[in-house]
Structure 1
Amino acid sequence: MLPTNNLPTSMHQRLQQQIERWQDRVAAEEQASLDQWLAANPAAAEPLARMWVASDYLMGVALDQPQEFLSWLQAGWYQRALTPAEMAAALDARTGAEELADKEFDRQLRKFRRDMMLRILWRDFCRLAEFAETARDMSHLAEVVIQAAIAYHYRLLQQRFGTPIGKHSGQPQSLVVLGMGKLGGYELNVSSDIDLIFAYPEGGETEGGRKSISNQEFFLKLGQKIIASIDNTTGDGFVFRVDMRLRPYGESGALVLNFDAMEEYYQTQGRDWERYAMIKARVVSADAIAGGRAAGEELMAMLQPFTYRRYVDFGAIESMRGMKDMINREVQRRGINADVKLGAGGIREVEFVVQVFQVIRGGRDTRLQERSVLKLLPLLEEEGCLPPGEAARLAEAYILLRNTEHALQGFQDKQTQSLPVDDWGWERLAWLLGFASREDFECQLAAVRAQVNSAFQNVIASKEDGGQKGQDVSVWAELWPSAEQPDSNVDVQHLQQQLASRGVQEAEEVAQIIVGLRSNRTLLAMQPIGLSRLDQLMPRLLAHLCERQEPAETLRRIVVLIEAVSRRTAYFLLLIENPDALGQLVTLCGASSWFADQLARYPSLLDELLDPRRLYNPPGKDELRDELRQQMMRVGWEDTETQMETLRYFRNAHALCVAASEIAEVLPLMKVSDYLTWLAEVVLEHVLTLAWKQMVARHGRPQPDADGREPDFMIVGYGKLGGIELGHGSDLDLVFLYDADPAASSDGERPLDHRTYFTRLGQKIIHILNTQTMSGQLYEVDMRLRPSGNSGLLVSSLAAFARYQREEAWTWEHQALTRARAVAGGERLRPDFEALRAEILQRPRDEQELQKEVVAMREKMRSHLGSKGSAEEKASQFHLKQDAGGIVDIEFMVQYAVLAWSHKAPALTRWTDNIRILETLEAEGLLSAGQVAPLIEAYKAFRSVGHRLALQRLPAVIGGEELSAERAAVQSLWQSLFGDADSASPSPD
C-alpha cells in the first residue's frame, strides 16, 4: 500500500511497524478508503510514508481517529499554504454557523488546530515548505484562534453584562492582545506556547446588559475565558499553551490593565528584559470587536519610547550579557547544553545578536524595529554591525537550528528543543533534515553552533573576557581611585609619581584632573551603576592617554564629555565595549577642542566613532542625498519633530566625520570645504521639500500662470556657501526667490495669494533651520544679503530681485553677487537667475570709481573688524581674515576683477569660488601666472590655518611674524591693482 523503497534500513523497519499498527487498528472499510485515496493520489504515497515514519503525532491521529484522518487526507489540506483570511474562514465555518456552547466551541478549536497542525507538519517534514512558511503558518494559526476566542466570548459576556464603555470617550471598549516573542515576530515553532499581554483602552462600566460591571471586571472575565478556551487540556487536547508571565508585574499582576496603567508601569517600573521582550510585541487582536487592532496600535505607540531609546543605548550589551549568563547557569544546572535553543551556539544566541543591535540603535534607525530575525540580519550587516558575510552565515545557521527544533517538536507535538539521547532519535532527525547520515548531521550542527557562538561572543563577550579583546588595563586600575568610594583619601603626589612611572607626560596636571573628577559633584550624584561603569572606563582611558604628548588638555576635554553624559552612562559602556572607539575619542579630542565640544553637546555622536571606515570616509553629495532620503522615508513626512531631530543628527554626524578626516589629514582643505558645502546643500534641499509639503498640506499648491508656467521657488547661497568654501560651524548666507503669477492664489481649503504663500514658505524654512531642539540648531541663517537687507522682504520675486540689482543695489551687493549661486530648488528659475547674475556682473563699469568704492568698503571693514591697539600691538599679531594682506583682501581683489573685467571676459562669471576665478583670470590673460600662483597659495595657507584654529575653537589670529611671505604677496598685488587707497590703478590691459 505505501512505498517502502528508497528508505534507510532503520526508516524502512519503522514504516513496516507503522503499517502493521494501522492494519491491526482500523476496520476493513477504512483500509479500503485509504487504498482508494492512494490510487487517486499516487504522488502523495511517498510523502504519507515519510510522515508515518517521521511524526508519532500524525501517526497517533491516524490510529486514534482514522475516519477524521482520512477525511483530512481527502480534503487535501496538505497541498498548500493558507493565508490568514483562508484560515479564519475555515475556522469560522466550524464555529460561526450556529450558536455553540462553550464546550463545543472549545472542541471545534481543538479539531481545527489538529487539522492545521497536520497540514503544517506535513508540508514542513516533506520539505514542501521553507522554514519561513512553517513559522508564519503557525503564527497565523495562533492569531486566528485568538481572534475567534475573543469574538466568541466577548459576544457572550456582552449579552450578559452589556458593552464596556469608556468613561471619558463614551466609546465601546475592546480587548487588545499583544503577541510577544516568536508569535510577535511571525516565528512561532510547531509546538510552541504563546506569550500574550492583555489590555484595554480606558476604564468605565458596561451598559445595556442584565447587570452592569466595571470594564476591568469585564475584560478580566474575557481574558480568563480566552485562556481557558485555548490553553485547557481536554479529551481533544489543547490549542496552545498560554503564558501570561510577560504582563506587567508578572504572575502577581492583574491579568489585564487599561492603557494608562500600562504606560505608567513601563515608564516607572519597566525593566531591561521587558524592553527586549517588547521588541517582538505585535497586536494580534482584530478590528472586528470595537476596533481592537486600531486600539492596539495606539497602545504600541504609547509604549514605543519605553522600547526604543532616542539615543544610542550601549547598556543593552551589559543587560544582554547578564541575561545570557543567567541562562548559561541554568543550562549548566539542568545539564541541557544539548538544547538547540538555550545551549551554546543555539537559537537564543542568534536572537541575542540581533536584539542587542535593535535595542542599541532601533530608536534612531526605525528599520531595526523589524521583528523578524531573518529580515534583520542583512540590515545589520548593511549598517556595519556585522562583518561581511556574517548575516548570510547566521541566517543559514538559524534556519538549520529552527528546522531542527521543528523536527524535534513535530515528532510528538511536544515542546522540546533537546537533541535525542538515543540512536534511533538521531538517525530519524538526520534523515528528516536531509542528511546522508547521523555523523554528517552532527558534524554540520556542531559547526553551525560553533559559528553562532563565535558571532555571539564577538558581540556580547562575557565579563570574564573583559569585553576588550585583549586590551590589558589592569596596570592602570590602581591609578583611578574608585568613584564608588568618594570618602577614601587620595595622595596626589603618590598618584603623580605613579603616572610618571608609567610614562605619562604632564603627570602633575593629569593627577590634579583625576582627583578633581573623582570629587566632581555631578559624578558623585550618579547612580551606583553609573559609578561602576565610570570605574571601568577610567583605567582604559588612562591607558590611551599615556601615549599622548599633551595628555592633560586631552583629559580635560574628555572630562567635559564625561560630565555631559553622567545621566546616560550607557555611553560609558559604548567606550568600554569598543576600545577602538575609545582610542579614536582620545586621538580626536586631543587634536581638536571643537571635536570634543561637539561630542559633549551631542553625545549621541559617539556612535560615529564605532566604524573608522565611515568616520574617515565622508560620502559624496549623491551618497549624502540618498542616505538622507532613506532616513527620512523611515520617519515619515508628517512627523515634523522627528524629521527635525533626524536632520540635526544627520548634519552633526557628517560634519563630525569631515572634521575627523581633516584632523587625520585624510582630506585636504579644498575637499573639506567641498564636503561641508555638499552637506549643507543636501540639508537645504530636504528642508525645502519638508516646508513645501507642510504648505501644500495646509494651503494647497500655487497655481500656474496664464502661460501654464508652474510657480517655482529657489534658495540662493551667498558667501562661503555660494563660494563652496564652508568651514566648521559656518552660518549660511541665504536669499529666497520665487516666480509665480502675482494675481493668483493656492488651491487649498485655506488659500493664500502667492506672495504670502512663498513668504510663509520662507519662514518655515528658517524655522526648521534655526530652531533649537534637543539636538541643537541645524544651521544659523543670515538673510541680510537679500534686497534692502533686514528692512527688505524676506522673499523676493525674481522680477523684484532683478529690478533691485539693476537699479538700487550698492557696489558691495554686486560684490556679494559674485559668490551667489542656486543651492536648492528652482529647477525652472535657475537659468533665469544665472542669466540675471551674468548680466549684472558683466555690466561695464568705471574702473576708477569701482576701485574707490571697493577700497573704501575694505578700509571700513578693516577698521571695524581688524586687529586693534597701538602700531606695536597690531604688528605683533595677524588676523587671518580681516588684517591687511589677509583673506578678505584676496576676496575683494577677486570681486573687483569680476566686476571690472567680466564685460570683456564673461568666463569670469562662470564660477563662484575664489580659486577657480583666479585661475580664470590667468587663463584670460588678465593676471599673470606670477601674480595668481602666490595668491592661490596664500589663500590656501590662510584658510588651512583658519580651519585648524577653528577646530581648536581659537580666534583666527596668529603671530605677526607668521605667514609673512604670503601676506607680502597679497599686499603686493593689492598695490598693483589699487595703488594708493584714494586712487585706482588702470586696467591690466
Structure 2
Amino acid sequence: MAGPLLDQLPAPLRPPVEAHWRAFAEAAGSERLQRLAQLPTLFWEQLTRVWAGSDYVAEQCSRRPDMLEALAPRLQSARTEAQGYAQALASQLADAEDDAQLQRQLRLFRHQEMVRIIWRDLTRLAEMEETTADLSDLADACIDQALTWLYERACAQWGTPYSRPRGNSPAKPQQLVVVGMGKLGARELNLSSDIDLIFSFPSMGETQGGRRCLDNQSFFNKLGQKLIQALDAQTAEGFVFRVDMRLRPYGESGILAPCFAAMEEYYQDQGRDWERYAMIKARVVAGDQSAGAELMSALRPFVYRRYLDYSAFDSLREMKAMINREIRRRNLHGNVKLGPGGIREVEFIAQAFQLIRGGRDNRLQQRELKQILALLPDAVGMPQGAADELYAAYRFLRDSEHAVQAVADQQTQELPRSEPARLRLAYSMGFDDWEAFLTCLDHHRSRVRAQFAEVIAPADAEQAKPREEEEWALLWTAKLEPNEAEEQLARAGHEDPEEAWRLINNLRNSRRVKMMQPIGRDRLDRLMPLLLNATAQVEAPTRTLARVLQLIEAVLRRSAYLVLLWENPGALAQLVKLCSASPWFAEQLAHQPILLDELIDVRTLYSPPDKAALEHELRQKLLRIPEEDTEQLMEALRYFKNAHVLRVAAAEISGALPLMKVSDYLTYIAEVVLNGALDIAWKLLTDKHGLPQKALGVPCDRDFIIVGYGKLGGIELSYGSDLDLVFIHDGGPGLATDGRKPVDNQVFFTRLGQRIIHLLNTRTPSGQLYEVDMRLRPSGNSGLLVSSLKAFEDYQFNEAWTWEHQALVRARVVAGGGALQDRFEAVRHNVLGQRRDPAELKQAVLEMRLKMREHLGTKGKSEGEDADFHLKQDAGGIVDIEFLVQYLTLAHAADHPGLLTYTDNIRILDAIEAAHLLCAKDAEQLREAYKAYRGLAHRLALQGDSSSVISQKAVKKLRQAVATTWRAVLES
C-alpha cells in the first residue's frame, strides 16, 4: 500500500510526516496513488526519510503531485550529462512568450530539480560533491538560459550591441559575461545559496538594428536588471535564486555592468585584499564564454602575485576578525559556516595558501576546495593527515549545512535550538540522537580550529610581546637617545655598537622607508624588533646585521616579504644564522628575495634532494607551464636552480654536507637544469621544423648530447662555477628536418645549441642560470657550435692539441643520452687510450702548465710563511694536481684502461694508485690536498671572496707534498 513507512522514524518525527502524507494524498487523487503504490518498498523508505528531513520537498510534492510521479524513475541514478539541465530548461522556455511566463517556467523547473537533488542528498544516494556540483550546474543553466531568452528579446527591442570599429577591425556583436563568485564560481553551491554575480561586457559601442539605439553600457545595464528580476523576484511560485551583486566593482554604488576595461582598471588601481580572496573562485557561468575567458585571464595577476605573498595572512585575519565580531554580536556560535571551526575556516586555510603561492605554483589556481586541499601536502608541505582531516571535516560540515537548509529551503547555517528540530537534523545526518551528532560535529570543528590556529593565528588573540622585543621596538622607533641605543646594542653583544646604530638609523631615515605606503611601513615596524633581537643571538651581530639589512632594503617595495619573515619566526632565525655565516648567502637572497620561501621548512632546507628527486621536481614544474611560454619556463629553471643551490649552501654552512657531497649536489642540479633546457629547446624547434633525420626517412630520436668538461665533467662544481660544454649530434649529412618548415640538419642542431645557450645565459629578473663556455669545442671559437660525432672524432685524432686531450680526461655526457652517449664514450676511450711518446707528452704538459702559472698565478708576495698562495694556479695547487692526474692518464691509459672509467680526480687518483703509477702515500697526499684546497675554495666563495688567494701558512705542508710529487713525476 502507498504511504510513508512511519515505523522507521523516531516517534517525535512521525506526526509531521503523517500530516504531509494526508496533504499529498488529498492533492494526488486515488488514481495517482494507485500508480505510486506499484513503486518498490525502497521508494517509500526513501520518501519517509526525505519528508522527515525536508518540509520543503513534502510541500512541493503536495503542490505538484504529478512531479513526484514524473521524478520517481530519475531519483535512483545520478545525472550523467553536464548539459542535461540546460537542454531540459531550454525546451521548457521555448514556449515562454513574456517575462511572466519566463519567470514561472524557471521557478517550476528549479523546484522540480531541487526536489530531486534534496532527495538524493538526504538518502545519501548522492555524496556531498555530487550535490554541490548538481546545484551549481542547475544555477548555471538557469542563469544562462534566462540570459539567452532575455538577450534575444532585448536585441529585438533595442538592437544588437556592437563594439566600435578600430582601424581595420570591424565592429563585432557583444554579449553579456556573467561571472559567478563564491560557492557558485567554485561549483560548491549549497541547497539554499544566494548566487553572487558580476556582470561585464567586452567593450563600449552602440546597438544596431533596433527600434531605438542605445549605447552598450545602457543596453547591458537594462539586460542585467531584467536577468536579476527573472531569477530573484518573489512570485507565486517563489524565486529561482536570490541574486547578490555587491561583489562588483564599487559594490552597490557601482555600475551594474561595467565593460572589461573598467573592470581591469578598478582591480588594478583599487582592488582590495578581500576582493582578491573573492576572485579566487570566480568563474564565467553564463553569456559569452570566450570573451569571459579573456576577462578572467586579464584579472588573474590581481589575484595571483608572481612573488610569495604572505600578506594574505594579515588580510584573512582581518576578515576573520570581522566575522568573529559578527559572531559575538549576533551569537552565531552555532553557525556551521561562520562559527569557530566552521566551513569558512577550512576555506580560509586553503585560500591563504592559494593567495600566497598561487602566482608561483599554478596548480593552486583552482576553485574547488577539494582540489586545493589535496594539493597542499605536496605544494606547501602540509601533513597529509592534516589535509585529510580538514576535508573530512568540510564534508561533514557541508552535509550538516545541507540538512539544515533542506528543511524549509531557507538560507541558514544555524544549528536548531528546539528538541524536535535537533532530532530531525541528527536523523538526517544518520545519528540516533542529538548528543551523538553533536559529539561528532564538535570533533570535526575542534580539528578545524587547531589547523586554523596553526596556519592563521587568530586575529583577536593579540599576545603580549616579550620584553626584549619591546626594548628593540623602542630602539627601532628612535625612542632612545643615541647613547642609550648604543649601550643597548653593546649589552646585546654587538662588536661595533656605533656602526650598528648607524646601520639602523640609515635604514629608518632612508628615502625608501619614508616613501613606503602605510601598510608597508607597519609591516617593517613589526618585523624590525624581531630581526634586531635575532641578530643579537649570533656571533658578530653587527656584521650579521649589515648583511641582513641588505635584504630588508631590497624588499621594501614588496613588503609581503617582510610579512613572510614576521609570520615565520623559524625562517627569520634561519636567515640570520645563515647570513651570519656567509655574506654570499645574504647577497643571493638580496638579489632574489623570492628564495626566502626556502627558509621556512628546515627539513628541506638542510636536506637537498637526490638527483632522481630533482629530476621529478623539475619535470613537474615544467609540465605545469605552457610549452610556448618561454619566459615563464626560463624563470622556472632559474628558481629551481637558485633554490636548490641555496639549500646546498645552507647544508654546507651548517655542516650537514661534506665537501664531496656538496659538489655532487651542485653537479646534479646543473645536469638536471641542462636536461630541462634541452627538453625545452628540442620541443620548440621540432614543433616548428620537425625532426632532423639520421638517414633518409629515419628521424633522429633526440640524437643530441651535451658533454660537460672541467668541473662539471669532473663532478666538482662549486658556487658560481661556469659550465664548459660541447654539443654533439648524430644527424645525417646533407639531410633536412621532416616538418612543415624543413631546415638542413646542421642548421637545426646549430639553432638547438643557440637556443640552449640562450636559455642558460640570458639575464632575466631572476638572473642568469649559468655562464656557458664553449671554447673547448673542436677548433674553439672558430669551430662549429655543434659538431657531429664523426667530426668530433676526426678532430680529436687528427687536430687536437695535448691540452685538449687533457681536458677530455674530465669530459662526460651530462644531458641527452642513449646510443649516442655510448658511442661518445667509445670515442673518448679510443682517443685517450692511444699510445703516446712519453717525452713529447711530458714536454707539452709542462709547457702548458708553466704558461698558466705565468699568466694566472699570484703576482703579490710569494716568499715567507705569509706568502700569498693561489689555490688553483700557483705551484703545488689544484691545477698541478689536475695536470698530474691528466698526464698519468694520457701516458698510461693504453696499458691501464681503468684510468678512463671515471672523470673526477679523486677516483682517477684511486685508479692511478691501483695501477701502481703512484705509491699509496703520494696518491693519498694528492687526494688530501685536493679535497682541502676545494674545501677552502668553497668557504671563500661563501664568504664572497672569488680571488682563490690565501696565506700559504694554512696549507704549507700540503703544498710542499704536491710540489714534491710534481717534481718526481714531471720534472725528473
- Provide TM-score, normalisation by structure 1: 0.95
Which residue of structure 2 aligns with residue 260 of structure 1? 261
Structure 2 CA distance, aligned partners of 1:203 and 1:370?
31
Distance change >3 Å, CA 112–CA 75, structure 1 → 2 = farther
Q: 1:778 aligns with which of 741, 756, 769?
A: 769
Residue 354 (structure 1) aligned with residue 350 (structure 2): yes
Structure 1 CA distance, aligned partners of 2:651 and 2:638?
20
Which residue of structure 1 aligns with residue 8 of structure 2? 6
Distance change >3 Å, CA 421–CA 127, structure 1 → 2 = same
Structure 2 CA distance, aligned partners of 1:833 and 1:171?
60
Which residue of structure 1 aligns with residue 421 of structure 2? 425
Q: Runs of 5+ in structure 1 lacking a partner?
A: 287-291, 980-984
Q: 1:479 aligns with which of 472, 475, 485?
A: 472
Range with bigger deviation, 544-553 or 298-307:
544-553
Which residue of structure 2 aligns with residue 156 of structure 1? 153
Are the counterparts in 2 of residues 481 and 518 from structure 1 also a CA contact under 8 Å?
no
Structure 2 CA distance, aligned partners of 1:524 and 1:871?
51
Q: 2:939 aligns with which of 931, 948, 955?
A: 948
Distance change >3 Å, CA 463–CA 893, structure 1 → 2 = same
Which residue of structure 1 aligns with residue 185 of structure 2? 184
Range with bigger deviation, 110-119 or 708-717:
708-717
The CA deviation at 1:734 is 0.7
Deviations for 1:220-276, whole angstroms, at most 9, x for unmatched residues?
A: 222111111111111111100111111111111111122111111111111111111
Distance change >3 Å, CA 542–CA 296, structure 1 → 2 = same
The CA deviation at 1:298 is 1.0
Structure 2 CA distance, aligned partners of 1:154 and 1:461?
48
Which residue of structure 2 aligns with residue 318 of structure 1? 314
Q: 2:580 aligns with which of 567, 584, 590?
A: 590
Q: How does 1:277-296 map to 2 (within 5 A)?
A: 277-285=278-286, 292-296=288-292
Aligned amino acid, residue 247 of structure 1:
R
The CA deviation at 1:18 is 3.0
Which residue of structure 2 aligns with residue 84 of structure 1? 82
Structure 1 CA distance, aligned partners of 2:923 and 2:14?
92
Structure 2 CA distance, aligned partners of 1:77 and 1:260?
46
Aligned amino acid, residue 49 of structure 1:
T
The CA deviation at 1:507 is 3.4
Q: How does 1:190-209 map to 2 (within 5 A)?
A: 190-209=191-210
Aligned amino acid, residue 196 of structure 1:
L
Structure 2 CA distance, aligned partners of 1:489 and 1:131?
58
Which residue of structure 2 aligns with residue 804 of structure 1? 795
The CA deviation at 1:500 is 2.9
Which residue of structure 2 aligns with residue 681 of structure 1? 671
Which residue of structure 2 aligns with residue 750 of structure 1? 741
Residue aligned with 2:29, SS: helix
The CA deviation at 1:54 is 1.1
Structure 1 CA distance, aligned partners of 2:869 and 2:908?
26
Q: 1:550 aligns with which of 510, 535, 540?
A: 540
The CA deviation at 1:782 is 0.8
Which residue of structure 2 aligns with residue 958 of structure 1? 950
Deviations for 1:494-528, whole angstroms, at most 9, x for unmatched residues?
A: 11212333455543433332223222222222222
Distance change >3 Å, CA 320–CA 368, structure 1 → 2 = same
Are the counterparts in 2 of residues 197 and 247 from structure 1 also a CA contact under 8 Å?
yes
Are the counterparts in 2 of residues 350 and 398 from structure 1 also a CA contact under 8 Å?
yes
Which residue of structure 2 aligns with residue 144 of structure 1? 141
The CA deviation at 1:79 is 4.1
Residue 408 (structure 1) aligned with residue 404 (structure 2): yes
Q: Runs of 5+ in structure 2 lacking a partner?
A: none
Structure 2 CA distance, aligned partners of 1:473 and 1:584?
20
Are the counterparts in 1 of residues 20 and 59 from structure 2 also a CA contact under 8 Å?
no
**What percent identity do the matched residue pairs reach?**
51
The CA deviation at 1:847 is 1.2
Residue aligned with 1:40, SS: coil
The CA deviation at 1:763 is 0.8
Deviations for 1:663-686, whole angstroms, at most 9, x for unmatched residues?
A: 111111111111111111111111
Distance change >3 Å, CA 929–CA 465, structure 1 → 2 = farther
Q: Tell me the number of residue pairs that the alignment of Structure 1 and Structure 2 aligns.
A: 964
Residue aligned with 2:842, SS: helix
Range with bigger deviation, 430-439 or 54-63:
54-63
The CA deviation at 1:71 is 3.9
Deviations for 1:459-503, whole angstroms, at most 9, x for unmatched residues?
A: 111345458xx9x543233334576x6xx5752221121233345
Aligned amino acid, residue 629 of structure 2:
D
The CA deviation at 1:859 is 1.1
RMSD: 1.8
Residue 671 (structure 1) aligned with residue 667 (structure 2): no
Aligned amino acid, residue 6 of structure 2:
T
Structure 1 CA distance, aligned partners of 2:368 and 2:64?
38
Distance change >3 Å, CA 490–CA 861, structure 1 → 2 = farther
Deviations for 1:858-909, whole angstroms, at most 9, x for unmatched residues?
A: 1111111111135448962211111111111101111111111111111111
Are the counterparts in 2 of residues 718 and 817 from structure 1 also a CA contact under 8 Å?
yes
Residue 59 (structure 1) aligned with residue 58 (structure 2): yes
Q: 1:973 aligns with which of 942, 953, 965?
A: 965
Which residue of structure 1 aligns with residue 327 of structure 2? 331
Which residue of structure 1 aligns with residue 231 of structure 2? 230
Distance change >3 Å, CA 323–CA 734, structure 1 → 2 = same
Are the counterparts in 1 of residues 377 and 384 from structure 2 also a CA contact under 8 Å?
yes
Distance change >3 Å, CA 466–CA 594, structure 1 → 2 = farther
Residue aligned with 2:704, SS: strand
Structure 2 CA distance, aligned partners of 1:42 and 1:7?
15
Which residue of structure 2 aligns with residue 45 of structure 1? 44
Residue 636 (structure 1) aligned with residue 626 (structure 2): yes
Q: 1:511 aligns with which of 501, 511, 535?
A: 501
The CA deviation at 1:455 is 1.1
Are the counterparts in 2 of residues 33 and 70 from structure 1 also a CA contact under 8 Å?
no
Which residue of structure 2 aligns with residue 982 of structure 1? none
Q: How does 1:355-370 map to 2 (within 5 A)?
A: 355-370=351-366
The CA deviation at 1:635 is 1.1
Range with bigger deviation, 34-43 or 307-316:
34-43
Structure 2 CA distance, aligned partners of 1:973 and 1:963?
16
The CA deviation at 1:707 is 8.2
Range with bigger deviation, 573-582 or 164-173:
164-173
Which residue of structure 2 aligns with residue 289 of structure 1? none
Range with bigger deviation, 916-925 or 953-962:
953-962
Deviations for 1:893-926, whole angstroms, at most 9, x for unmatched residues?
A: 1111111111111111111100010001111222
Aligned amino acid, residue 39 of structure 1:
Q
Structure 2 CA distance, aligned partners of 1:313 and 1:160?
49
Distance change >3 Å, CA 74–CA 821, structure 1 → 2 = closer
Q: How does 1:916-927 map to 2 (within 5 A)?
A: 916-927=907-918
Which residue of structure 2 aligns with residue 843 of structure 1? 834
Deviations for 1:407-462, whole angstroms, at most 9, x for unmatched residues?
A: 11110000001111111111110111011211111122122212211211111113
Distance change >3 Å, CA 82–CA 112, structure 1 → 2 = farther
Range with bigger deviation, 923-932 or 168-177:
168-177
Aligned amino acid, residue 243 of structure 1:
D
Distance change >3 Å, CA 601–CA 757, structure 1 → 2 = same
Are the counterparts in 1 of residues 264 and 299 from structure 2 also a CA contact under 8 Å?
yes
Aligned amino acid, residue 47 of structure 1:
Q
Are the counterparts in 1 of residues 200 and 258 from structure 2 also a CA contact under 8 Å?
yes
Q: How does 1:695-774 map to 2 (within 5 A)?
A: 695-706=685-696, 708=698, 710=700, 712-774=703-765
Residue aligned with 1:418, SS: coil
Deviations for 1:631-677, whole angstroms, at most 9, x for unmatched residues?
A: 11111212111111111111110111111111111111111111111
Range with bigger deviation, 929-938 or 457-466:
457-466
Structure 1 CA distance, aligned partners of 2:883 and 2:654?
32
Which residue of structure 2 aligns with residue 605 of structure 1? 595
Range with bigger deviation, 622-631 or 741-750:
741-750
Structure 1 CA distance, aligned partners of 2:159 and 2:562?
55
Residue aligned with 2:6, SS: coil
Are the counterparts in 2 of residues 890 and 970 from structure 1 also a CA contact under 8 Å?
yes
Aligned amino acid, residue 16 of structure 1:
E
Distance change >3 Å, CA 499–CA 35, structure 1 → 2 = farther
Deviations for 1:593-619, whole angstroms, at most 9, x for unmatched residues?
A: 111111000000000011111111111
